[in-house]
Amino acid sequence: MNNLRPPGPLVAYLPGAEPEPLAECLVAFANTDGGLILIGLDEKGRLRNGVYPEELESALRAAERLCRPPVATGWEQIETEHGTAFAINVPRSPELHSLADGRVLIRVGSENRPLGGEEIRQLAATKSAGDFEAEAISGARRSDLDDEVIAEYIEKRQQRQRRVIEVAPDELLQEIGALTHDGVPTHSGLLLFGKNPQVFIPHAGVVFVKFPGTTPGGEGGLAGYGRREEFNGPLARIIESAWQTIWSEMAVGAVVKGLERQEITEYPAFAVREALVNAVCHRDYRLKGRRIEIRMYSDRLEVISPGGLPGFITIDNIVEEHFSRNPRLVNGLFQWGYIEELGLGIDRMIEDMVSAGHPPPKFKAQPYSFTVTLYNARDRKATPKWENVMNERQARALNFIRDNGRITSRDYQQLCPNVSPETLRLDLQDLVNRGVLLRIGAKKGTYYVLK
């Protein structure tokens, strides 16, 4: 394992085998999307504090006893370019886990974060739904899966992992939860690899509708629409077909820089694909009777996904935190290459929209649906990109400045009334430090403009 990934939502490094930090990682990964704990290595993958197998086994058993209920897992020895270390693969658990002291932890970025009371209640409600993805589908057979789609997935997975998959395809399908041990396709298996998943899951498709104006209706205010398409099949095919249709309907402009002509699409390509892939990955497939809807208007693009926000995710923390309702689908599409980096898509979606001169995406969460709206502001001037990712609050601030020319601390407080003044001050100072904003004045007369 010379290509070790950096610490993040799915990877943790522990230089030693100590039960308490190990238990914290076990609980955090089990409560979130699962993950890999690498023992004996620091965060840069360098060997630290030689750990012996007997020591690790003892620490792991002690760590499991600190978890309520226990998080049962095992370890394997791995070889790195620096020497021998150990890996513990923690699966996502259908149960809610806490530590012996009562803390309920989740994995956020490269840290383990404790949840508050309401967040614990939301996560517990999600866990109580069971492992829907891994349930076998009555009446489905192995022959209902498409071998060509499976072969494509394996090829893409090998490219991403940079190693050959040596197990037989059906064995791999069982490992990822697409087949039961009896060879029966599961919900995730049919959604990812089915020849015609909609025979068993009729609502697992996407509907695209284009309207000529800013409200539902046809030309001249009459009933109807400009174009309507339906997309079925396995999820990868749905994503590609829906994307091609959206792309064909997007207005395209052009600018000339030097001797080169550069096309500018109506919406940033990444933002559109991210909204589409997120809807396909995270919709609640237990909700029947409604498919994902994509509505294109003259001034905006709406992607409506059945099912509210999963787990502990809220509108306020959607940028900083990550939780998957369907982790097997997410991992499948990640290995396929439809997801670039887990947990970072919303950040880049916001940045790309604002950098292109549009307002940041609008997120609307309801009990049984979640909507992402991308607004098209063609008369706006694009702002330059900077290296680091901004948060949604900072995106609001930039949008306010483009509309009003400047922003004050009081303006920012009104935009984000539930955020502390100190956090907002640090937001603005961060943009100043990056060279995005210029601070003018002092004390109460201070305001900020685009640099």
**324 shares its domain with 217:** yes
**146 shares its domain with 210:** no
Question: What is the average per-residue pLDDT within 101-122?
Answer: 89
> What CATH code is carried by the domain that includes residue 260?
3.30.565.60
Q: Is residue 2 part of a domain?
A: no
Give first-to-last CA distance, the chain, whole Å: 45
* Mean per-residue pLDDT over the chain, rounded: 86
Altogether, the residues listed in the chain come to a count of 451
Of 84, 113, 142, the last residue of a domain is: 113
Of 155, 171, 199, the last residue of a domain is: 199
**61 shares its domain with 194:** no
Q: Is residue 333 part of a domain?
A: yes
**From CA 217, how far away is CA 222, in angstroms rounded?**
6
**From CA 231, how far away is CA 238, in angstroms rounded?**
6
**243 shares its domain with 354:** yes
pLDDT: which is higher, 417 or 242: 242
**From CA 346, how far away is CA 334, in angstroms rounded?**
15
**37 shares its domain with 154:** no
pLDDT at 387 over 50: no
* 407-431 per-position pLDDT tens digit: 999 999 998 888 888 888 888 988 8
pLDDT: which is higher, 275 or 345: 275
**From CA 404, how far away is CA 402, in angstroms rounded?**
6
**189 shares its domain with 53:** no
Per-residue pLDDT at 82: 67
Of 47, 82, 113, the last residue of a domain is: 113
**357 shares its domain with 210:** yes
Confidence grade of residue 129 (pLDDT, cut at 50, 70, 90): low
**235 shares its domain with 139:** no
Pairing of strands 67-68, 83-90: unpaired
**152 shares its domain with 277:** no
Whether 264 and 254 have beta carbons less than 8 Å apart is answered as yes
- Asked which of 114-118, 123-127, 423-427 is least confident by mean pLDDT, the reply is 123-127
The one-letter amino acid at 149: V
Q: 87 phi and psi, to 5 degrees? A: -125, 135
Domain enclosing residue 43, as ranges:
11-113
DSSP state string for 324-352 = -SSHHHHHHHHHHTS-SSTT-HHHHHHHH
Q: SS3 for 91? A: coil
pLDDT at 341 over 70: no
**276 shares its domain with 194:** no
Q: How many CB atoms lie within 10 A of CB 79?
A: 10
Count of structural domains, the chain: 4
pLDDT at 380 over 80: no
> CA angle at residue 253 from 252 to 254, to 5 degrees?
130
pLDDT at 161 over 80: yes
Confidence grade of residue 388 (pLDDT, cut at 50, 70, 90): very low
Of all residues in the chain, the percent with pLDDT exceeding 70 is 89
Q: Is residue 129 part of a domain?
A: no
pLDDT at 254 over 70: no
Q: Is residue 343 part of a domain?
A: yes
Q: What is the DSSP letter of 137?
A: P
> What CATH code is carried by the domain that includes residue 400?
1.10.10.10
Confidence grade of residue 130 (pLDDT, cut at 50, 70, 90): low
The one-letter amino acid at 258: G
In terms of pTM, does the model score above 0.75?
Answer: no
Q: What is the DSSP letter of 69?
A: S
Q: Which residues are 301's β-sheet partners?
A: 296, 374
**366 shares its domain with 274:** yes
Q: Is residue 6 part of a domain?
A: no
* 21-73 per-position pLDDT tens digit: 999 999 999 998 888 999 988 777 677 767 888 999 999 999 999 999 999 88
**From CA 347, how far away is CA 392, in angstroms rounded?**
8
Q: Is residue 270 part of a domain?
A: yes
Q: Is residue 194 part of a domain?
A: yes
Q: Is residue 36 part of a domain?
A: yes
Per-residue pLDDT at 220: 63
Confidence grade of residue 132 (pLDDT, cut at 50, 70, 90): confident
**From CA 325, how far away is CA 299, in angstroms rounded?**
31
**281 shares its domain with 335:** yes
